[in-house]
Amino acid sequence: MASPEPQQIGVVGGGIRGSMFAAAVRQNPAARLEAVCEPDPTRRERIASDLDVATFGDLASMIDSTPELTALIIATPDFAHREVALAGIAAGLDLMIEKPLATTRPDARAIVAAAQAAGTKIMVGFENRWNPRFAEVRRQLAAHPAPVVNQVINLNDTRYVPTRMLSWAARSSPGWFLMPHSLDLAMWLSGATPISVFARGRRGALAAAGVDTWDALTASFTMSDDSLLVLNSQWVLPETTPAVFDFRYEIHTEAASYHFDISHDSVTRYDASGASWLQFGVTEHQGRLRGIPIDMVDDFIASLGGSPLDLPDGPHGELITTAIEAVHDAAESGTPQAIAPTRSTLPTL
């Protein structure tokens, strides 16, 4: 039997995540990396050299020049997903979109509605689902069901992220950049959805550094199973913190409690300059990239080939956007916010 034709994939965005996704596509035998779209000429040159792939400065040129494309992976800044997604949908392409789906509910609604009308598949890149630790706890919770009492997730970054890593941090926040990961994880493990939220925020340190956004946000959700969920995210950890992020998670049911400390899942190195942590999100082994984001891309490609996988889709991404928008509204207004359910459905990935 002949092997199926490889999926022909383009990547939009050549930053840290886009470059990694492109490399993951390139090494997957069921896919072919056809093109990368990146407006910055220095990045384009690097990507073309490193990956031996055609590069384009704008999406329209890439789509027009590569009619063989079957899918796009979108890794543009969080606020810049709508235009790219709608162009991909108009071209008949299936999409993997880096989380969050969008940073406004109208943008998320427009993407999902267009995909629904076109029959386009969407997967949103909530990569914690590919962490084997979380997957095992989800299996245990399903095997031994008990009511969830509460969940608490602390997901924070050092100041490096908003002040030096992201040129667009003022158009985002620790809520948009970090909380979608946390909320998706809480929903995936518990099976519950957010109903309402109260939130508080703090501004000052980042604004003084020229990045006008929230320093920290704390959100308290009421969930559909009557459990409680607290999300804490900040962008002002000191850069002397050994890792760029701090990720601690607890889930408590009436029968069991689980505690995770993902940021300490590392090797500590000691030398003349002090202690540092070697993180292993993505590594290279025997000439191939390995790690949770790579597994996520591999499953997206498998789903395009017809594998019946349970993946986060467009309506789920729209609900996450709706909930995180409500966090920001609650923090601004000082009043609780109801979280309206989403209505859309899409073909199963």
Q: What is the pLDDT of residues 57-85, one digit of tens each?
A: 999 999 999 999 999 999 999 999 999 99
**CA R_g for the chain:** 20
- 128-283+312-338 topology per CATH: Dihydrodipicolinate Reductase; domain 2 (3.30.360)
Q: What is the distance, to the nearest Å, from the Cα of residue 253 to the centroid of all Cα atoms in its chain?
A: 26
> According to the model, what pLDDT value does residue 4 have?
78
**Number of alpha carbons in the 13 Å side-chain half-sphere of residue 79:** 10
> According to the model, what pLDDT value does residue 268 have?
76
Given this chain, do its domains 7-127 and 128-283+312-338 carry the same CATH topology? no
The CATH classification number of 7-127 equals: 3.40.50.720
CB 215 within 8 A of CB 236: yes
The parts of the chain modelled with pLDDT lower than 50 are 1, 344-349
> According to the model, what pLDDT value does residue 248 have?
96
* CA separation for the pair 223, 343 (Å, rounded): 18
Q: What is the distance, to the nearest Å, from the Cα of residue 176 to the centroid of all Cα atoms in its chain?
A: 10
> According to the model, what pLDDT value does residue 274 have?
77
> According to the model, what pLDDT value does residue 348 have?
38
- Domain ranges, ordered by start, for the chain: 7-127, 128-283+312-338
Return the structure tokens found at 213.
């956004």
> According to the model, what pLDDT value does residue 236 have?
98
